[in-house]
């Protein structure tokens, strides 16, 4: 059975008065001491801002209002799988964290590294982005086939660089290798993999060099150690949380209107390619 139907006026009341949604109680129960991490607090706050925009009485469409109710009534056993959903992001983090903890059991910190690979860049077009993600996954898995004791877990993130938006020099050098305009004349999509590499018995440099050769380009491949002043568990928490982060765009600071937020939702739905669902998890190939 699904969640009990709720009217829009109920959702508007909960949001405007700062009252909890049903799923808030479930997340609070899962957190030690009832405390949420700053990322969880931020995601919950931004989710509520988006829901308010989606139920605008005068300008939101019926579909947007129905979507807001679906996200608000998301439950652990009936997830909405919407990118804006605080609970679904929390669950995705929990699932990947459990996998990382299992893989890290018995490993020393120097046998675990973080990895970033820029998969490509494309002018506005989801098929090109999906093709770049598939090609990157296939190439990386070819390397992993030769390293039976190395495992990679992670997720792809898609950055959106808007028209006339300034691109930093280091990022510009990376994008130039993909033969796309980097002068801000066109918007760009930049898919990239954020991952954790478990490599017992292999030095980090012996992994970085083959990956960098497989994906040539300035600053395209970055492989680094865990932070020495943090525990392995805290490092894994941060690395898993990073590709699941959700931040409102810079231009929303200049235009915080509900209309701008609804436009942002439509934009992210398009970038997601799968109705805004959490997607693009790196496909792990078993070596057992």
In the chain the domains, ranked by start, together with CATH numbers, are 1-91+246-288 (no CATH), 106-232 (3.30.70)
User: Considering only 142-146, 208-212, 223-227, 249-253, which range has the smallest mean pLDDT?
Assistant: 249-253
Q: Look at 283 and 225; give whichever has higher pLDDT.
A: 225
Q: What pLDDT band is residue 244 in, cutting at 50, 70 and 90?
A: confident
Average pLDDT of the segment spanning 275-287? 43
Residue 183 to residue 187: CA distance in whole angstroms:
10
DSSP conformation class of 288: -
Q: Please choose, from the candidates 37, 28, 35, 24, the residue with its C-alpha nearest in 3D space to the C-alpha of residue 240.
A: 37
DSSP conformation class of 80: -
pLDDT at 276: 36
Residue 218 to residue 109: CA distance in whole angstroms:
27
* Residue 140 reports pLDDT greater than 50: yes
User: Alpha-carbon torsion 201, 204, 208, 210, what sign?
Assistant: negative
The radius of gyration of the chain from alpha carbons, rounded to an integer in Å, stands at 20
Q: Are 152 and 196 in contact (CB under 8 A)?
A: yes
Q: What pLDDT band is residue 30 in, cutting at 50, 70 and 90?
A: low
Buried b (16+ CB within 10 A) or exposed e, 222-234: bbeebeeeeebee
Q: What pLDDT band is residue 87 in, cutting at 50, 70 and 90?
A: confident
Ramachandran assignment for 130, one of left (phi > 0), alpha (psi -120 to 50 degrees), beta (any other): alpha
Residue 30's SS3 state is helix
State pTM to two decimals.
Answer: 0.81
Q: What pLDDT band is residue 143 in, cutting at 50, 70 and 90?
A: very high
DSSP conformation class of 34: G
**Phi, psi for residue 150 in degrees, rounded to 5:** -110, 130
Residue 87 to residue 91: CA distance in whole angstroms:
6
Q: Return the top range by mean pLDDT from 28-32, 39-43, 245-249.
A: 39-43
pLDDT at 267: 65
Average pLDDT, the chain: 82
Residue 83 to residue 243: CA distance in whole angstroms:
12
Q: Please choose, from the candidates 150, 134, 143, the residue with its C-alpha nearest in 3D space to the C-alpha of residue 282.
A: 134
Q: For residue 106, what are its two tokens?
A: 């018995």
Residue 101 to residue 232: CA distance in whole angstroms:
9
Average pLDDT of the segment spanning 129-145? 90
Average pLDDT of the segment spanning 37-50? 81
């Amino acid at each position: 059975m699904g969640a009990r139907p709720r009217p829009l006026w109920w959702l508007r009341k909960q949001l405007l008065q700062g009252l909890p949604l049903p799923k808030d109680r479930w997340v609070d129960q899962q957190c030690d001491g009832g405390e949420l991490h700053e990322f969880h607090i931020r995601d919950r706050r931004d989710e509520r801002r988006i829901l308010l925009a989606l139920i605008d009485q005068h300008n939101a469409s019926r579909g947007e209002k129905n979507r807001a109710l679906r996200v608000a009534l998301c439950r652990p056993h009936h997830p909405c799988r919407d990118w804006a959903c605080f609970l679904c992001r929390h669950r995705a983090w929990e699932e990947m964290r459990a996998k990382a903890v299992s893989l890290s059991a018995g490993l020393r910190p120097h046998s675990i590294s973080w990895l970033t690979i820029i998969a490509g860049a494309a002018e506005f077009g989801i098929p090109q982005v999906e093709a770049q993600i598939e090609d990157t996954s296939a190439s990386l898995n070819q390397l992993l086939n030769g390293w039976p004791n190395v495992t990679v877990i992670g997720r792809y993130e898609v950055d959106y660089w808007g028209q006339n938006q300034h691109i930093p020099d280091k990022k510009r050098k990376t994008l130039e290798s993909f033969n796309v305009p980097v002068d801000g004349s066109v918007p760009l999509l930049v898919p990239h993999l954020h991952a954790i590499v478990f490599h017992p018995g292999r030095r980090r440099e012996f992994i970085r060099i083959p990956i960098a050769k497989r994906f040539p380009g300035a600053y395209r491949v970055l492989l680094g150690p865990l932070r020495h002043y943090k525990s392995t568990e805290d490092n894994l928490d941060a690395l898993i949380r990073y590709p699941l982060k959700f931040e409102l765009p810079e231009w929303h600071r200049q235009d915080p209107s509900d209309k701008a937020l609804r436009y942002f939702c439509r934009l992210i739905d398009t970038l997601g390619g799968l109705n805004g669902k959490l997607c693009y998890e790196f496909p792990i190939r078993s070596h057992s």
